[in-house]
A and B are shown apart, each in its own frame.
Chain A
Amino acid sequence: MTSAATNLRSVPLARRFLNFTWLTLGLAAAILVFEAFAQPSIVVTTLVTGGMWALMAAGLAMVFGVMNIPNFAHGELFLLGSFTAFTVYSPIREALLNDPSLTWLKILGPFPGMVVALVVGAIAGVLLEAVLFRPLRRRSREQWVMNTFLLTAGVSVVVINSYRLTIGNDFHGVPAYWDVPPISLFGVPISVDRAMVLVIALVTITLFALFLQRTGLGRAIRAVSQDETGAQMAGIDLNRIFILTMGISCALAALAGASLLFLFPAYPDVGLQPLYTAWFVVILAGLGNIPGAVIGAFIVALLQNLTIFYIQVGWVDVLPTVFIILILLFKPSGLFGSAVKGVWEQ
């Protein structure tokens, strides 16, 4: 494999600017602009679902980038988040139904559930690291990526079926968080719930990006993802970073589950679709690439919504897959992946 430097010199100027990544991004942007006029509702739903997939995918990408764990149990954190939010929100909803005049509760009511879900998700992440990954890391780091993949597959099966055994197969959801008439965005009526989802996603992603870029801990996390040994030599406590990374990643997934409760009621398999969508995104963007995952999330959301609108909802798993396979054919390391090998590949 040639290094990035020689690549730059040997690639003709025209191809450098007309490369595949920019073509894809340009195409996505063009479709968005076109749809904005032809079918604005697609743009709006793309923004809303894309925001949530971004929360899922950013966490997945971070855990892979920092800890080299391909987390197959990421969807179960989504489930955990949605069930936690349901549990916390139910009594609030009850109170609201009894006394509809509590305006402040009407506005703020859904937030406690989301905050608790965030905390529960973080705790679950810390537990996963402490109970599973750390013992495995201590025993052997051989074939780490594949072993942790299987480990998390086991976790996923255990969580889904334990949930089924204890709580059952029923749907636990809410029809709407904010029971008010829809507002209008770009001339498209959109429920307040969906608008809030977009706001929550954007705020969280911004905070997350600021944390990674501006704080010492965030820098430490990025350092570990680039060079574990080097980071260790610089005095970074790896165990602390691993716990933090896992906690944040799981908290983000749980938050996604909590804020989408009105769309995805809690039931055992609810995490499956968010899980594989998040995986679509990180494979498309390039494993371990967090900013790429955020952009990729919106591309995947666009693809899914185009499929649903123009073809049929049933094809929503088929067509994006074909598309991703095509992309990987041309750009095996993902849209934003570089030809330089990551730590986990060596």
Chain B
Amino acid sequence: MLVRHRRRIALLGVLVVALVLPYIPPFTGEDYRRWLVGAAFMAAQAVAFDFTAGYINIVNFGFAAFVGLGAYTSGILAVDFGISPWIGMVAGGTVSGFVGLLTGALTLRLRGIYAAVMAWFVGLALMGLIRNVPDITRGSLGLAVPSLLESSENLPYYYVIMAMLIVTFAVLAWVIRSRYGLAFRAIGQNLAAARASGINPTRYLVINFVLSCAFAGWIGGFYAHYYGILTPDVMLTSHTVEVLAIAYIGGRGSLWGAAVIAFPLSIGVEFLKVQFSTLPGVHLVLYGLLLIVVMIYKPGGFAAVVRGLESWLIRSRPGDTATEAPPAS
């Protein structure tokens, strides 16, 4: 109990730091604040991604396409119908969730790898679709989208995306702690055993997948109205891999690991991009290498490192041991 309690306090501390970060130099500059927005955007995506990958062990390889679908939905609603971006973002989440429902209902009956690859195909098909209807999406030329806020400064956007990150995290963590979370874990760890104990796996898998896709679409809506320009490239598989790398480096099946690690990782990567502006793609090499190392040598990622530190701290203070439960996952 105490470990969990302590971790919650630590997480709140991290959150407070993240919230005041834009007032701490060097993050007071507009460029740095833009990095912060990007980091929070990545964090929110990674949380939504980890909800599926870390718990039911299905890698949504078309994740970026669901983000992009939400972005395009919201963008098109705003451009063609003059609908407020705030409503558009929710609509984007709904559309992504719906497509996620179709994809999931179709593929989640099959084994994990089929679902992963089929989600990837659906993503590729969506990207092809967006490219091929330039009358609506303006294809590769890019769709100019009205911005979310009057202000052109990054600071208010940062608080919007932070709020979205908190909502995403809170809702998904709440689901995880419910009866559903238990079922997700059971299915992710051993499908046959879960089925034997009376869980209908497909139903839970689909619920999980749809939620993740819906949040992806909602967050994508923010992307559209923050950057103001949308091209089909937002759906590229390499974006999925970026999110995936952050989620796994953060630690699969923890939600908070991905949320926390996204900030240093994403900001570090932006820093690299500036330093090596002549070397495009250097950040992706870094993500890829980190992902490989984590997959082979530290499958629990950053979250496992934190847990290891925790138990080390507990062991080094013998008075505490009686009150501590073994580290919960």
Contact = CB atoms under 8 A, between A and B. Distances in A.
A146 to B, nearest CB: 6
B132 A314 contact: yes
A332 B114 CA distance: 9
Contacts, number: 133
Contact of A329 (B106, B128, B241): B106
B106 A328 contact: yes
B291 A154 contact: yes
A154 B282 CA distance: 14
B57 A157 contact: no
A318 B132 contact: yes
Contacts of A318: 125, 128-129, 132
Given A151-B295, A155-B288, A283 B59 contact: no
B218 interface: no
B248 to A, nearest CB: 7
Given A153-B244, A276-B124, A318-B125, A132 B281 contact: no
Nearest to A322: B125
A150 B59 contact: yes
B279 A165 contact: yes
B128 A283 contact: no
Interface residues of B, number: 45
Nearest to A275: B237
A150 B244 contact: yes
B192 to A, nearest CB: 8
Interface in A130-149: 132, 135-136, 139-140, 143, 145-147, 149
A158 interface: yes
Interface in A310-338: 312, 314-318, 321-322, 324-325, 328-329, 332-333
B138 to A, nearest CB: 14
B121 A157 contact: no
A326 to B, nearest CB: 10
A145 B291 contact: no
B240 to A, nearest CB: 9
B171 to A, nearest CB: 25
A321 B122 contact: yes
A132 B132 contact: no
A325 B106 contact: yes
A51 interface: no
A315 B139 CA distance: 13
A150 B116 CA distance: 11
A317 B127 contact: yes
B295 A150 contact: yes
B110 interface: yes
Contacts of B291: 150-151, 153-154, 157
A87 interface: no
A114 interface: no
Contacts of A345: 111
Contacts of A287: 113-114
A280 interface: yes
Interface string B278-320: 0111101101110110011101000000000000000000000
Contacts of A149: 59, 113, 116
B62 to A, nearest CB: 11
Contacts of A135: 296-297
Contact of A146 (B109, B116, B285, B296): B116
Nearest to B245: A154
Contacts of A147: 295, 299
A164 interface: yes
Contacts of A283: 114, 117-118, 121
A21 interface: no
A145 B112 contact: yes
Contact of B292 (A132, A280, A321): A132
A191 interface: no
A279 interface: yes
Nearest to A153: B241
Contacts of A317: 124-125, 127-128
A158 B57 contact: no
Given A149-B116, A283-B118, A321-B122, A165 B132 contact: no
A140 B323 CA distance: 32
B33 interface: no
Contacts of A145: 112-113
B124 A157 contact: no
Given A135-B296, A161-B281, A70 B131 contact: no
Contacts of B280: 164-165, 169
B206 to A, nearest CB: 15
B289 A154 contact: yes
B231 interface: no
> Which of B116, B282, B287 gathers the greatest number of chain A CB atoms within 10 Å?
B116
A162 interface: yes
Contact of A150 (B107, B114, B237, B248): B248
> Which of B122, B244, B285, B296 gathers the greatest number of chain A CB atoms within 10 Å?
B296
Contacts of A316: 128
Interface string B103-147: 000110111111011101110110111011000000000000000
B118 A325 contact: yes
Contacts of B131: 314
A318 B125 CA distance: 4
A149 B291 CA distance: 12
Contact of B281 (A165, A324, A329, A333): A165
19 contacts: A146-B59, A154-B241, A154-B295, A155-B288, A157-B241, A157-B245, A157-B288, A158-B284, A158-B292, A160-B238, A165-B285, A272-B237, A280-B121, A315-B132, A318-B129, A321-B124, A324-B121, A328-B118, A333-B110
User: Which 3 pairs, one residue from A and one from B, show the smallest C-beta to C-beta distance?
Assistant: A161-B281, A158-B288, A157-B288
Interface of B: 57, 59, 61, 106-107, 109-114, 116-118, 120-122, 124-125, 127-129, 131-132, 237-238, 241, 244-245, 248, 279-282, 284-285, 287-289, 291-292, 295-297, 299
Given A161-B284, A325-B118, 7 more contacts: A154-B289, A157-B291, A287-B114, A314-B128, A318-B128, A321-B121, A325-B122
